[in-house]
């Protein structure tokens, strides 16, 4: 794994910083991101698209990691942002992404969110239904504007990913069926508040086996572009979505070059501007979650390693039964004998389990462990369940690190709450 190295004395390192040092200074649990890995991955995706001769822009899916420092670093590498809420739009702007680099996706944008996006004059809003097209047109017209928008098409291809993260099937809530797209696009062209610029598609996340489903989707989109143009409609851009998977365990996802090839095959000769909305592929492998063992509990049949990170921090194992690599941090632990262990958090749910029966060394109290490939959908899916403050976030570059988000304080956890006035006088 590119971000990690093993030092025989200092133990596990992210770049040239030992995780033990970060734990000493910042405490645990803590998210640790490698700036160099983020940069390298952004560049290799950009290079693969350029080498395929595609005129493409990349819009980082901020839902995967909305840390301002991460979004800003990727912006420095030429990436825009894909946002799905007012909060993400504001975060992208606060991170320095210009409005002209921002795409707004999502199946339920509120009128307030539409107004903000139009006032900021962002690059494009992705429309998910006829109803939403009408709503956006009305909002834009009331502001004396025309909204640049793309129609999200559901190509009905099976991305063969986890049921909870597949999106390109007719049974999913996303986009409009491809058969209905021509009529809706024509209608959008006729609406006074819309300026339709093209199509968008996103078939699912963690597409883990090659790029065949991408190929199928882009072929269908290419056909649709021809059909729309034949009907006299402008189609300037195709937003090809995100979804490129990463090897958490033994998956064999497509490479950026293969993805670029699939785009070129389906859409390459149409002269459309290509957009991509990747999240996980860019930031997943660039981050780890660092935790400390609280206690090792030997039960009748199992060994439980109870750590100070929990499902409220890294939700993916509990929610999707996702597999994350787990490594001890100390150098000595790397040579110690292994035996099966369940690694669990302290939250009062059986689903607060990171793994079962994983071969690990003895992990006495206070030893450190890391959960790998936690840079995407890690911190961004955290909650404060069990009144556990949000973990700190750290960025490493070379032999230095910096805290990019303070650990949430206990005071902040109860801030904004109040006890109701006893006499009901202050109640509305």
Q: Which residues bind ligand LLP (CB under 6 A)?
A: 61, 64, 82, 105, 165, 202, 205-206, 241-244, 277-281, 316, 320, 376-377, 381
Q: Please identify, using beta-carbon distances, which residue of 51 and 321 lies nearer to ligand LLP.
A: 321
> Has 16 been labeled as part of a binding site?
no
Contact 374, 334 (CB under 8 A): no
Q: Please identify, using beta-carbon distances, which residue of 165 and 413 lies nearer to ligand LLP.
A: 165
> Has 316 been labeled as part of a binding site?
yes
> Has 405 been labeled as part of a binding site?
no
> Has 377 been labeled as part of a binding site?
yes
> Has 279 been labeled as part of a binding site?
yes
Contact 200, 239 (CB under 8 A): yes
Which residues contact residue 64 at a Cβ distance below 8 angstroms, ignoring those fewer than 6 apart?
Answer: 279, 280, 282, 283, 284, 375, 376, 377, 380
Count of residues making up the chain: 428
Measured from the CB of residue 378, what is the shortest distance to ligand LLP in angstroms? 8
Contact 373, 246 (CB under 8 A): yes
Q: Please identify, using beta-carbon distances, which residue of 251 and 296 lies nearer to ligand LLP.
A: 251
Phi–psi pair at 126, nearest 5 degrees: -95, 120
CB atoms within 10 A of CB 128: 22
CA distances from 342 to 244, 331, 362 (A): 30, 21, 12
Measured from the CB of residue 112, what is the shortest distance to ligand LLP in angstroms? 20
C-alpha 223/C-alpha 20 separation (Å) is: 54
Q: Please identify, using beta-carbon distances, which residue of 194 and 283 lies nearer to ligand LLP.
A: 283
Measured from the CB of residue 276, what is the shortest distance to ligand LLP in angstroms? 9
Q: Please identify, using beta-carbon distances, which residue of 23 and 103 lies nearer to ligand LLP.
A: 103
C-alpha 126/C-alpha 8 separation (Å) is: 50
Which residues contact residue 101 at a Cβ distance below 8 angstroms, ignoring those fewer than 6 apart?
Answer: 57, 59, 75, 79, 80, 81, 123
Question: Considering 189, 240, 283, 348, which one is annotated as catalytic?
Answer: 348
Q: Please identify, using beta-carbon distances, which residue of 185 and 377 lies nearer to ligand LLP.
A: 377
Exposure string over 21-38, b if 16+ CB within 10 A, otherwise e: ebbeebebbbbbbbbbbb
Q: Is 271 left (phi over 0), alpha (psi -120 to 50) or beta?
A: left
Measured from the CB of residue 249, what is the shortest distance to ligand LLP in angstroms? 14
> Has 86 been labeled as part of a binding site?
no
Distance of CA 151 to the CA centre of its chain: 22
> Has 112 been labeled as part of a binding site?
no
Closest CA to 412 of 386, 394, 388: 388
How many CA within 13 A on the CB side of residue 239? 35
> Has 182 been labeled as part of a binding site?
no
Measured from the CB of residue 103, what is the shortest distance to ligand LLP in angstroms? 9
Measured from the CB of residue 245, what is the shortest distance to ligand LLP in angstroms? 7
C-alpha 122/C-alpha 117 separation (Å) is: 6
348 as an active site residue: the answer is yes
For the annotated binding site, the residues are 243, 277-280, 316, 320, 349, 377
For the annotated binding site for substrate, the residues are 280, 316, 320, 349, 377
The residues assigned a catalytic role are 348
For the annotated binding site for pyridoxal 5'-phosphate, the residues are 243, 277-280, 377
């Amino acid at each position: 794994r590119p971000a990690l190295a093993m030092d025989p004395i200092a133990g596990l390192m992210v770049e040239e910083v030992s995780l033990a040092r970060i734990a000493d200074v910042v405490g645990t649990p803590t998210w640790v991101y490698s700036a160099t890995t983020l940069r390298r991955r952004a560049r290799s995706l950009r290079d693969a698209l350029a080498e395929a001769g595609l005129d493409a822009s990349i819009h980082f899916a901020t839902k995967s990691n909305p840390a301002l420092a991460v979004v800003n670093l990727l912006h420095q590498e030429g990436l825009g942002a894909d946002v799905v809420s007012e909060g993400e739009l504001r975060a992208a702007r606060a991170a320095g992404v210009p409005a002209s680099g921002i795409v707004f996706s999502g199946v339920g944008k509120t009128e307030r969110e539409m107004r903000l996006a139009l006032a900021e004059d962002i690059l494009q809003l992705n429309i998910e239904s006829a109803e939403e097209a009408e709503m956006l047109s009305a909002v834009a017209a009331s502001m004396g504007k025309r909204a640049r928008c793309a129609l999200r098409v559901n190509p009905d291809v099976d991305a063969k990913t986890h049921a909870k993260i597949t999106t390109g099937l007719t049974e999913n809530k996303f986009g409009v069926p491809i058969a209905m797209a021509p009529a809706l696009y024509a209608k959008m062209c006729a609406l006074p508040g819309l300026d339709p610029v093209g199509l968008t598609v996103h078939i699912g996340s963690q597409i883990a086996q090659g790029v065949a489903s991408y190929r199928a989707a882009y072929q269908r989109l290419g056909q649709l572009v021809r059909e729309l143009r034949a009907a006299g409609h402008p189609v300037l851009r195709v937003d090809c979505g995100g979804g490129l998977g990463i090897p958490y365990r033994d998956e064999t996802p497509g490479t950026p070059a293969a993805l670029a090839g699939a785009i070129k095959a389906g859409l390459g000769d149409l002269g459309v501007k290509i957009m991509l909305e990747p999240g996980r592929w860019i930031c997943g492998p660039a981050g780890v979650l660092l935790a400390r063992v609280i206690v090792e509990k030997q039960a009748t049949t199992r060994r439980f390693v109870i750590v100070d990170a929990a499902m409220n921090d890294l939700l993916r194992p509990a929610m999707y039964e996702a597999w994350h690599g787990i490594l001890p941090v100390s150098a000595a632990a790397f040579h110690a004998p292994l035996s099966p262990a369940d690694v669990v958090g302290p939250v009062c749910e059986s689903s607060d389990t990171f793994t079962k029966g994983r071969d690990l060394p003895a992990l006495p109290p206070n030893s450190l462990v890391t959960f790998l490939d936690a840079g995407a959908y890690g911190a961004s899916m955290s909650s404060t369940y069990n009144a556990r403050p949000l973990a700190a976030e750290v960025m490493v570059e070379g032999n230095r690190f910096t805290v990019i988000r303070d650990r949430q304080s206990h005071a902040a956890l109860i801030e904004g709450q109040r006890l109701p006035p006893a006499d009901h006088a202050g109640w509305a």
